[in-house]
Amino acid sequence: MDIRETTVDDLAAARDAGEVTLIDVRYPDEYAEGHIPGAHLIPLPELGDRVAEVPADSEVHVVCQSGGRSAQGAELLGRHGFDAVSVAGGTKGWIASGRPVDKN
């Protein structure tokens, strides 16, 4: 299965238009250090057991720190019938672009 990727800029545009479901597949400590506003945390090792929590009515953007785990997450969601894309550059790319992050 080919994994589709999207850019941080495309994610930002979709997010600003209110058209995005964003799943962060990093670990809770990484998420707490800084995440894209609106991202829902489901760590990659838990994603297979928690797919029911992911809305199936729109494209799902999957993000991690730099793009490796998000590709795995997008592939897993794709196998479950989701329209999922991996965010190339991940949270690092989002932060480097100067966009806001939430911390908690």
* 19, amino acid identity: E
Sequence-separated (6 or more) residues with CB below 8 Å from residue 41: 24, 26, 28, 31, 35
Q: Residue 69 falls within a domain, yes or no?
A: yes
CA dist., res. 37 & res. 48, Å (int): 23
**DSSP states of 48-94:** GGGGGGS-SSS-EEEE-SSSHHHHHHHHHHHHTT--EEEETTHHHHH
Boundaries of domain holding 43: 5-96
For position 1, what pLDDT does the model report? Answer: 60
Note the pLDDT tens digit of each residue in 62-91.
999 998 999 999 999 999 999 999 999 999
Give the pLDDT band of residue 2 (cuts 50, 70, 90): confident
Q: Which residues are catalytic?
A: 64
Q: Residue 102 falls within a domain, yes or no?
A: no
| pLDDT averaged over every residue in the chain | 94
Note the pLDDT tens digit of each residue in 45-70.
999 999 999 998 889 999 999 989 99
Q: Which residue has the higher pLDDT, 5 or 19?
A: 5
Domain count, the chain: 1
User: CATH number of the domain that 26 lies in?
Assistant: 3.40.250.10
Q: Residue 29 falls within a domain, yes or no?
A: yes
